[in-house]
Structures are given as structure tokens and as C-alpha cells.
DNA sequence: TTGTATGCGTTATCAT
DNA sequence: ATGATAACGCATACAA
């Protein structure tokens, strides 16, 4: 069942005017007499005329919509980022079209194909944990398509980016060291992601700064970003099978943090008595856990806002931008009782 | 900086063919020779041609995108619904454009204006807690615009709807009664919402079926859907100031449940010793709380899927549909330790 | 001040 | 088997 809307043509016909007069009257052009304007405007209002954005898009070669690709919407971090994106986009008159990669490279490529062509004016993306080949993105970027990365960014593409620094992981690790934990495990996202490297780096820096020896056996990676519980389970199994078991765990993504909690609970491993846990998380419920969970919180909403401002700058700039910026934002370390 | 894409015209010019030949070749029309097809297809692939969906939309008078209005994305229930919507939409070749009402009637009207006209083919909506006047929706609906309601539906508009039954609240209340709680408070959403009426009804039914007297003083409403913590705080303050205080609380939305937990924690009120709590929630973390929270879980993902299937049926139907369906889905009662 | 014609990218209709 | 043209809704250069 199609929904037939009113067009300029309808108004013109009804009023015995030409479409161009109506068009100009609606846009309050100086060339149209006040009388005509009033007649047109009144009638347009009466029949609830709305310009067809698709026709406008075709004409202006811009859709006023931006695409967003994240791994999962139902993840507190990403939903908060989307919230930030949506707030800026809405204010500036843009639609937000959201796609989920579900941590699948293949799906990410499909999403991009779907969003690209010209139905979106630009893209905000946090790449999937599986993504190693960037051709789908470089191909667009090289042709001048505006792309902004956030969270899981890539080095190979020169554009605006929004990330958090490695200080979050460093602070969390330092905190654990100060609390006298000696064998601090680190469970992170896929190895290929820059964000993983950055968080591992923060972790290593803290160890080094505090004179602790790095034990590579204490670092575990989740190739699917912790999307499947089993990979976190496997990682923890391995850690607990070590001769020298960890006495604390730093988990560096929302999803992995939740899985760690689930793992400990299932095995009746007590936090912080049996093991300490600090995790990256943006869930509002972490403070209500028992014990309340120490976390590293990312400024998700602000990251979404920043990414969108960057993207709209790229989209609306008259001339190609070559001077790109990477906005590095601070995380917030919230100490609660899961780390004694 | 604009992104210039390849058009049929470019291909036609490059290959010395007419646009119609190219168009037909790309669509594998029987009237085009295999040789020509191959030449066109190869060249199109080489230069990475993609049809312009906006031009298609203008021609077909459909945008292949659907609008979604929810109060908040960053809410486990709604993000899971959106996940379901997105999954069906994606499979059927539709974009999903998301807007948030933030529980504001005014914002909902703006969102709708923004989405309407012809940039979306249909709408999936869960109305804001503030919404009483439905003119913004009826106006569209009366003109044949496809709308599907879910979760917070309305009686006044005849169309497909997806809801959960009142059994969830009834089951939860019955469970509390069986556990020997006598004074069961109910904290619900705004009074004007049907979903509130339904859940209160389930609650009352359980009391009645079990021979308990209804005490209206034990029912509290949150006009802003619990979006502001203070209204939940006020509701609980009132309940705890009663001469006969409640010994259990049933909270009927995600947001309110979280606020209850926060309130009890802030005041060191122990669950379930000081008071029992069971709440509607779709968060994955509730089982990790201490005590693990008894919940009523809604089939959020499935509700999103069902709503989208309904909407696409309305959109793609050749003739006006007058036979509307309301899909009533079951909730899941998960008993954990917050209710002894 | 108003009207006519053109084009945005695509496809359907009608030639050739 | 292929090409020319009109149309979708709108804005605008150009005419009148």
C-alpha cells in the first residue's frame, strides 16, 4: 500500500500557478509577490505539504544521511556512542542509518556496500574484530568518500579519528599493582586491532614503570571480540591452568568484562578474594554488582558527538580536507570493590 | 567535499552506448545481446558502478528505508528490539533510520515530522511516556502511511501491533505471593500508557486470584518512564513512608528496575532481606547482580522481528490492508535470589 | 513577478 | 538489439 504525498505540482495545479512559482514561494524567494507567497504558503500548510527529501537529494547529490557501522547495537558502549552520534546528527538535520557487523568481516563489507553508493554522505565506523583487509574502506576513501573512525581505528587510512588513549589500561594496571596484585592477566580483543595494541601497551607500560616482569602467558586475545562466550571461557581456562595463576584480571572490552563475570560466577570464583577484576565497561549496572565492579569507562556519548562533528566537517567542507585530526579522549577510572 | 559516483551515463559514454542499453544490460534484460551485456557488466564492475538508490527511490516512490522511534537506544530492551528490526530489514533490503524521543512528546512529534514526508516507507514506534495526543500519528495513518506499534501501543489507531501480555506482571506478582510476600508494591510507567494499564492489570489479577486485598497506595507511577532517577526515588520514598511499608517491589520497566536497585543500594536496603525485588529487565547483567535479580524478560529481539515483518507486509501489500493483527508475545519469568 | 525548460540517475515506453 | 524520450519531484537559469 503506497503512501501518496502532496507535491509542488499538486499545489501549482490547484492554485493555477507554475511549479517554479510555487517552489520559489515556498522558499520565500524575493522574486515572488507577497500575495502569491501567502496564497501558496497557506495552501501548502492546509494540505500539509512536505518537500520530498528524495527529490532534493537527487538534485543536491547529497542524502543528508550518514551511515554508522558498529559490531553490535546492544552493547552499552556502542549504544551510548550512537546516542551521541544521533544527537549531533539530528541537530544538524542528518539521518543516521545504522548497521551492525556482528564482528564479521564479511558482514562489514556487505554493510558498507549497502550504505555506500550515494545513499549516505559519509560513514562513521568502528571496524569489526575480524577485519584485517581494508580494501573495502580504502576504495571508498580514495575516491573522496568521507569516513571517520572511532574506537577501533586503523593506521592505514588518513582521516579524522576518535579514540581513547592507552592511559585507561595503564591506570587500571597501575591501580592493581598498587593494590599489591602481582600476576595481572590481560584479556583483550583481537590482536590485529590497534585498540588492542594500545591497551596492551598501556598494560605493559604500567608493569614496566612499576618494575614488574612481563609474562606473555598472562595475555589472552579474543579473535571475535568476545562476541562468543566460549572464546573468553577458553582464555580464562588457559589462564587458570597456568602453573603460576593470575591474581587479577584486566579485561579491556565491555563484552569480555561481562563474560569474565559470568565465568567467575559459574565457577564460584570469588571477586576479589579469589581473583581481582577490573574491566572496561560502560554499563550502568556495574556499580550495582556485588562486589561493585572497578571499571575503566570510556566517554562514549562524547566520542559519538566528536566523530559526528568530524564527519560533518568532512562532508560539508567545500574543498578536500587533507589536515586530519585524531581526537584522543580520556577514560575514567572508577575504583570500586572488585579490586579490593 | 562531495563524493562523485559513477552513473549509467558515464558507462554509456565510455562504451559508446545509450543509457537505456546500459540500464537493460545491467538488469540482464532479454533484449540485450550477450556480447553487449558482457562488455557493460565488465566495465561496470571495473569502475565499481553502483546504482544510485536515491534515483531509484524517486522513480519507485519508495525509499526502502523504515523509521524507528524509541525513547532511548541505550536501553537493553530497546537496543535488542532494534537488533531484531535491523536483522529483518537488512535481509529484505531496507535501511533502518533510528530516532529517539527521550520520553518527550515534543521530540517525538519532531522525530516524526523528520522521518515522515517520503523519506521513509513506514514507521515502527513505541510511543513516549509523555504522549497523550496522537494527532501526529493519526494524521499520517489516516493518509495510508504504514505504522506498526510495539511495546507502548495505542488503542486509537487500527494497525498491526506487537506487545507482550499482562501475564508477565501477573506471574511475577503470583510468584511473590507464593513466596509469602504480603505487601507488594508496583512501580510502573506513566498512567496514560496502555502498557502500564496492562501490567497493573496483571498485578491486580494476581492479587485477586490469591485473595489479597488491593492497596492503591502501593502503586506508583513514573510520568517520565523512569528516565529521570528522581521520579523513581520519589515513588520509593513515598512507599517507604507508608505506615504499612511494602515487603516486595515489582518494577515494570527496565529503567525503573535499575533505579530501584540504585535506590536500595544507596540506602543500604538489603535485597531480599529488607525487601524483595522483581523487575522487568532485558539486561544481561541482572543474573550477575548480588543477589541475582529475579526478572521478567521480554522477547525483545523477536518483538523487533515481528514488528518489522508486520511493517513490511503493510508496505509491500498491493492493496490496503484492513485486517490488522496484534501479536501478543509471552514474557519469561526468571526466578533468582532477589525474591528469596 | 511569473512561467518555461533543463537536469539530477534511473527505468519504462515507444520507436528504429 | 539498440536508441530516444518521458517521467519521478524539485530547484534554477533563462525567458517573458
Q: What is the mean pLDDT of residues B131-141?
A: 93
Q: Are residues A193 and A286 in the same domain?
A: yes
Contacts of residue A3 in chain B, CB cutoff 8 Å? Answer: 118, 121, 143-146
Predicted confidence (pLDDT) per residue in B40-52, tens digit: 999 999 988 889 9
Residue nearest to nucleotide D13 (CA to C1'): A20
Residue A29 CA and nucleotide D13 C1' are separated, in Å, by 15
Q: What is the mean pLDDT of residues B177-183?
A: 96
Predicted confidence (pLDDT) per residue in B51-108, tens digit: 998 999 999 888 899 999 999 999 999 999 999 999 999 889 898 988 999 999 999 9
Residue nearest to nucleotide D5 (CA to C1'): B20
Q: Are residues A276 and A232 in the same domain?
A: yes
Q: Are residues B198 and B213 in the same domain?
A: yes
Rounded CA separation B51/B44 (Å): 10
- Mark which residues 70-89 of B lie under 8 Å from A by CB: 72-76, 79-80, 82-83, 86
Q: Are residues A33 and A90 in the same domain?
A: no
Rounded CA separation A113/A137 (Å): 10
B59 found inside a domain = no
Residue B260 confidence (pLDDT) above 80: yes
Q: Are residues B186 and B222 in the same domain?
A: yes
The protein side of the strand D contact, defined by CB less than 7 Å from any of its atoms, consists of A 7-9, 19-20, 23-24, 26-27, 51-52, 55-56, 58-59; B 16-21, 24, 30-33, 35-36, 55, 58-59, 61
List the CATH number of the domain containing B75: 3.40.50.2300
B229 found inside a domain = yes
Rounded CA separation B335/B286 (Å): 11
A188 found inside a domain = yes
Q: Where are the alpha helices (DSSP H) in chain A?
A: 8-15, 19-26, 34-46, 53-60, 76-91, 105-115, 135-142, 167-178, 194-209, 229-241, 254-266, 300-316
Q: How far is B308 from chain A (nearest CA, A)?
A: 15
Tell whether A96 lies on the interface with B, counting CB pairs under 8 A. yes
Nucleotides of C under 7 A from a protein CB: 1-5, 7-13
B34 found inside a domain = yes
A1 found inside a domain = no
Domain extent, residue B155, equals: 64-162+300-328
B56 found inside a domain = no
Q: Are residues B154 and B71 in the same domain?
A: yes
Rounded CA separation A10/A7 (Å): 5
Mean per-residue pLDDT of chain B = 93
Q: Are residues B215 and B305 in the same domain?
A: no
Q: Are residues B218 and B280 in the same domain?
A: yes
Tell whether B142 lies on the interface with A, counting CB pairs under 8 A. no
Q: Which residues of B2-36 are buried (b: 16+ CB within 10 A; e: fewer)?
A: bbebbbbebbbeebebeeebbbbbbeeeeebeeee
Q: Are residues A118 and A47 in the same domain?
A: no
A319: nearest CB among B1, B50, B283 = B1
Q: Are residues A187 and A237 in the same domain?
A: yes
Give the mutation candidate from B77, B81, B117, B279 for the A interface (greatest A CB count, under 10 A): B117
Rounded CA separation A91/B337 (Å): 45
Predicted confidence (pLDDT) per residue in A290-335, tens digit: 899 999 999 999 999 999 999 999 999 878 888 999 999 999 999 9
Tell whether A2 lies on the interface with B, counting CB pairs under 8 A. yes
A321 found inside a domain = yes
Q: Are residues B157 and B304 in the same domain?
A: yes
Q: How far is B104 from chain A (nearest CA, A)?
A: 14
For residue A111, the SS3 value is helix
Q: Which residues of chain A have pLDDT under 70?
A: 1-4, 117-118
Among all residues of chain B, which has the CA nearest to that of A92?
B114
B3 found inside a domain = no
CB contact under 8 A, B96 and A100: no
- How many domains in chain A? 3
Q: Are residues B143 and B196 in the same domain?
A: no
Amino acid at each position: 500500500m503506497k503512501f501518496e504525498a502532496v507535491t509542488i505540482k499538486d499545489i501549482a495545479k490547484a492554485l493555477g500557478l507554475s511549479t517554479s512559482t510555487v517552489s520559489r514561494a515556498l522558499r520565500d524567494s524575493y522574486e515572488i509577490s507577497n500575495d502569491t507567497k501567502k496564497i501558496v504558503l497557506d495552501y501548502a500548510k492546509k494540505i500539509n505539504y512536505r518537500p520530498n527529501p528524495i527529490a532534493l537529494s537527487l538534485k543536491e547529490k547529497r542524502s543528508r544521511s550518514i551511515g554508522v557501522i558498529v559490531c553490535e547495537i546492544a552493547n552499552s558502549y556502542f549504544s551510548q556512542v550512537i546516542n551521541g552520534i544521533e544527537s549531533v546528527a539530528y541537530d544538524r538535520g542528518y539521518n543516521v542509518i545504522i548497521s551492525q557487523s556482528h564482528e564479521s568481516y564479511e558482514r562489514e563489507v556487505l554493510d558498507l556496500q549497502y550504505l555506500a553508493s550515494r545513499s549516505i554522505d559519509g560513514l562513521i565506523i568502528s571496524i569489526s574484530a575480524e577485519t584485517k583487509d581494508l580494501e573495502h574502506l580504502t576504495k571508498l576513501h580514495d575516491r573522496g568518500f568521507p569516513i571517520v573512525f572511532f574506537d577501533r581505528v586503523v593506521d592505514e587510512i588518513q582521516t579524522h579519528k576518535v579514540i581513547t588513549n592507552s592511559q585507561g589500561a595503564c591506570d587500571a594496571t597501575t591501580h592493581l599493582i598498587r593494590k599489591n596484585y602481582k600476576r595481572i592477566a590481560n584479556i583483550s580483543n583481537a590482536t590485529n586491532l590497534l585498540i588492542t595494541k594500545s591497551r596492551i601497551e598501556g598494560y605493559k607500560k604500567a608493569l614496566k614503570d612499576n618494575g614488574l616482569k612481563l609474562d606473555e602467558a598472562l595475555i589472552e586475545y579474543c579473535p571475535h571480540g568476545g562476541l562468543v562466550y566460549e572464546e573468553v571461557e577458553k582464555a580464562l581456562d588457559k589462564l587458570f591452568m597456568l602453573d603460576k595463576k593470575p591474581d587479577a584480571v584486566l579485561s579491556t572490552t565491555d563484552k569480555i568484562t561481562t563474560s569474565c563475570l559470568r565465568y567467575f560466577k559459574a565457577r564460584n570464583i570469588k571477586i576479589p578474594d579469589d581473583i581481582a577484576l577490573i574491566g572496561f565497561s560502560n554499563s550502568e549496572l556495574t556499580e550495582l554488582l556485588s562486589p561493585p565492579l572497578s571499571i575503566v569507562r570510556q566517554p562514549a556519548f562524547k566520542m559519538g558527538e566528536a566523530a559526528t562533528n568530524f564527519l560533518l566537517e568532512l562532508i560539508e567542507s567545500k574543498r578536500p580536507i587533507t589536515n586530519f585530526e585524531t581526537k584522543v579522549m580520556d577514560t575514567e577510572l572508577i575504583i570500586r570493590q572488585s579490586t579490593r
